[in-house]
Structure 1
Amino acid sequence: MKQSFDDFLRNTVSLDETRMNRVQRAHHFVREKLTAIDEVAERKTGRGTYLQGSYPLHTAVRPCDENEAYDVDVVLAADFLKEAGRMIPGMRVLRWLQDCLESIGTYQDKTTRKSCCVRIDYESDDQRFHLDIVPAHRPNTLRGPIKIPPDWSQSDPRGYIDWFRSQCDGDDWLLHVVRLLKYWRNLQGITPNSMILTTLAAHHSPAEAGSLDDALVKTMSSIKDWMQSQTLGRIEVHNPSMQGEDLARNWPAHRQRRFRNRLSVALETAEEALDSTGEEDTINLWNQPELFDGTFPKTVRGLAEGAKEKAAAMGSGGLAVGPSGQVSTGPDRSGRDVPDNGGFYGDK
């Protein structure tokens, strides 16, 4: 199913090139204009802005519904201390940031103040997305933990990015498994949030997997087993870049139970799909409502039959590779002009 999963990721799950280009233009523009404002330039640290979340992690997924919005997070790192050494109240900083953004003509009447960020909404005929601008207290360097409003709690988005990239190093499947799990979660309309799901996937990624679907099933199985060993409502998922932070602290027990139950049902079907030997049956299983609900590629390529034919020919000695590199299983050509080295041309 390699080609089917490649097509699924490229054409359905991952952000398409049009969306990626729009996002790139949008975040470059707002970062340039925002940091050019005198009040911001006086406070900003270093270059002042950077990206956080799924976009720099390369785990962003396309909305299941084309009318749904997707988001990108931009951090504004600055010094928000008063002259007396006390922090400026978080809500005041958010109002200030909103005023700064509204002063850029492009964003007038297009911003919304959220609990810890200011949101800019973008809409067009074919897609919607928004940029969330997060003011962060980080006066000396862009590296290390930041403090974010409204209560100036600590976070370390860059540390998390570094950690996840280190988990992907040497793991051929993790990045794609995270995308597939996030897309599946969105189709099912369940929690947890992306940071929890990404962390769980990284912690439960298999040491060995023969293919992407094998890695996906093994990751799902490991997460399910771990959740069944935990007490719902007391589950903790520690932030790898800030061990003192429990990412699951606001994940209610009833939503944990729903996720665990949906995962168990999906896993049963995914294991059946992985064990299936018929291409049509396998495609049908991946398209079941508990899995990818009709969004998985439905093209039957007949690749399995070709592979079986070649395997049988190899076992009977009827497989030959010609000078052009073409593999032959036909009785009229197999064995003809076969080199003495066992049927293969070229250097050993």
Structure 2
Amino acid sequence: MPPSDAFDEFFDKIALPTQPEDRIKSAWDRLKDHIVRHAEISPDDVFLQGSYPNGTAVRPADSSGGYDVDSCAIIAADIDDPDAAFTRLEEILSESDDYAKRLDTSKPRCVRLNYEDDEYGSFHVDVVAARPCADGHLEIPIRNTGWRETNPQGFQDWCLQQPEQFARTVRMLKRWRDETEDDDRRGIKSIVLQVLVAEALPAGETDDATALATTLANMHERLAPHDTPPELCNPSLPDEDLTQTWSDDDFELFKNHLSDAAEIAEQALAAGTSKDAHDLWRDLLGDAFPPFPDGGNSAAPPSPPAPGHVASRPRAPRDERYG
């Protein structure tokens, strides 16, 4: 199996299948209609945000995971108190007996609707209340805290303006993150990962293996010199530092994972046989990456390592890495 075919198969495996896609669409269509009617607002004031409309959503790594969709409703235009905005949103949703029993009001920035698990994992919809502010941006309430400026439509526009390889690489690295992190609360946030990928992605590269390896190498080069998370501006909200809440310990853990990933990807590019390359990509990306087909250990000319990356050192067994 040529590497390009293996990556295409991997990409298909980590994309959301038809059933979750249909479930998201059905749940969203019904929810949007409910909010529009009961809040008496325009359909344009209720919209999806986050990875699903941005084209970077991935399916759960296994059935113990979950998939979700994020949404925003501009229902707080005349409300000054952040907690009152949550109350209004909860009241609107509670007009439906079905939504009332699904409500989770424990989240600091949204109201969550929990649905029954299916074969792909748990499923929920997060709804954020919002009000307009300057420059066409929005403000969202944070419980017991205050208002926070945001620009979800601007970030979506920025994502969709990136080259096609951006979304493919982000999805692959999201799966790598989900396979790597022991605790998703300590893993890198999706928005941070996306901005780092945009910075590190080699211009004009369309080969998945090369794009992935080079992006990992460039990200590692960018972060390795820092002991604390460096500033990373939100491209849709330049005054926001996306790494401000990233703890030093979690940042250091991510750098360790990133260093190892860049090394594995470099070795996969330079592997002397197709089977060796497949094995290394599976080591990096998990079992969703297809194994090398039975019947051979065909030679493959080694590719050059990712630009600027030094020759790799011998690697410890997987269970000995990071202590």
Taking structure 1 as the reference length, the TM-score comes to 0.78
Structure 2 distance, partners of 1:282, 1:301, is 14
Q: CA deviation at 1:79?
A: 4.2
Structure 2 distance, partners of 1:177, 1:104, is 40
Structure 1 portions without partners, runs of 5+: 309-348
1:292 to 271, 278, 285: 285
Structure 2 distance, partners of 1:16, 1:59, is 14
Q: CA deviation at 1:209?
A: 2.7
Aligned residue number for residue 3 of structure 1: 5
* 1:207 and 2:224 matched: no
Structure 2 distance, partners of 1:276, 1:214, is 13
Alpha-carbon contact 1:45-1:139 (below 8 Å) kept: no
Give the direction of change, closer, same or farther, for the CA distance of 1:216–1:148 in structure 2 (3 Å limit). same
Give the direction of change, closer, same or farther, for the CA distance of 1:118–1:193 in structure 2 (3 Å limit). same
* 1:131 and 2:125 matched: yes
Q: CA deviation at 1:305?
A: 5.3
Aligned residue number for residue 97 of structure 1: 89
Q: Deviations over 1:119-156 (max 9, x none)?
A: 0011144232110000010289xx83100002111000
Alpha-carbon contact 1:279-1:300 (below 8 Å) kept: no
Q: CA deviation at 1:118?
A: 0.4
> Percent identity, aligned pairs only?
30
Structure 2 distance, partners of 1:297, 1:7, is 7
Give the direction of change, closer, same or farther, for the CA distance of 1:258–1:234 in structure 2 (3 Å limit). closer
Aligned residue number for residue 19 of structure 1: 20
Give the direction of change, closer, same or farther, for the CA distance of 1:23–1:303 in structure 2 (3 Å limit). farther
Structure 2 portions without partners, runs of 5+: 302-323
Residue identity in the other structure for 2:291 = K
Q: Deviations over 1:322-345 (max 9, x none)?
A: xxxxxxxxxxxxxxxxxxxxxxxx
2:267 to 268, 272, 276: 272
Structure 2 distance, partners of 1:195, 1:15, is 19
Aligned residue number for residue 110 of structure 2: 117
* 1:47 and 2:44 matched: yes
Aligned residue number for residue 63 of structure 1: 60
Structure 1 distance, partners of 2:242, 2:300, is 45
Structure 2 distance, partners of 1:299, 1:136, is 49
Q: Deviations over 1:287-333 (max 9, x none)?
A: 22xx123331114277995999xxxxxxxxxxxxxxxxxxxxxxxxx
1:252 to 247, 256, 266: 247
Give the direction of change, closer, same or farther, for the CA distance of 1:134–1:281 in structure 2 (3 Å limit). same
Structure 2 distance, partners of 1:154, 1:139, is 8
The residue correspondences of 1:269-348 to structure 2 (distance < 5 A) are 269-288=264-283, 291-300=284-293
Give the direction of change, closer, same or farther, for the CA distance of 1:234–1:200 in structure 2 (3 Å limit). closer
Taking structure 2 as the reference length, the TM-score comes to 0.84
For 1:130, what is the secondary structure of its paired residue? strand
Q: CA deviation at 1:67?
A: 2.5
1:218 to 214, 217, 220: 214
Structure 2 distance, partners of 1:305, 1:258, is 36
Alpha-carbon contact 1:69-1:128 (below 8 Å) kept: yes
Aligned residue number for residue 314 of structure 2: none
Aligned length: 290
Aligned residue number for residue 317 of structure 2: none
Structure 2 distance, partners of 1:252, 1:284, is 33
Aligned residue number for residue 317 of structure 1: none
| Backbone CA RMSD of aligned residues | 2.2
* 1:76 and 2:69 matched: no
Alpha-carbon contact 1:144-1:158 (below 8 Å) kept: no
Task: State the 4+ residue runs in structure 1 displaced beyond 3 angstroms.
Answer: 301-308
For 1:121, what is the secondary structure of its paired residue? strand
Q: Deviations over 1:199-221 (max 9, x none)?
A: 10011110243611100000011
Max radius of gyration: which structure? Answer: 1
Residue identity in the other structure for 1:260 = K
Q: CA deviation at 1:164?
A: 1.7
